[in-house]
Amino acid sequence: MPAGPGFATTRGKLVWSLKLPVAYPSDPQQLGPDLYLVADHKPGGIYEFNRAGKILWSYHPSSGLECSTTRASLSDCRTA
């Protein structure tokens, strides 16, 4: 399974990480005490998951964004 998000302290010490079925994880965000969001950079999608790695919700558009794996963030994607 591909690598997934992880979280570290401000000094760079890894607190935890996990693997998700996401090809190119990007822009992880903590939404709540046990709720996280990560974008799949390519082919595209958004996943909400808990700290155990269980996918709670996902969205996969059939078209609309054109992203390059050479870009650092999904915020750099263009409308196709």
Write the CA distances from 79 to 9, 24, 42, 65, integer angstroms: 34, 19, 14, 5
3-39 tens-digit pLDDT:
456 677 778 888 888 888 888 888 888 899 999 999 8
Residue 69 CA: distances (Å) to CA of 7, 21, 47, 60: 22, 17, 18, 17
Q: For a pLDDT cut of 70, what percent of the chain falls above it?
A: 69
Q: Which amino acid is at 36?
A: Y
CB of 22 closer than 8 Å to CB of 1: no
Using the 8-state DSSP alphabet, how is residue 16 labeled? E
* pTM reported for the whole predicted model: 0.67
Q: So where are the chain's domains?
A: 3-63
Least confident piece of the model among 19-23, 34-38, 42-46, 73-77? 73-77
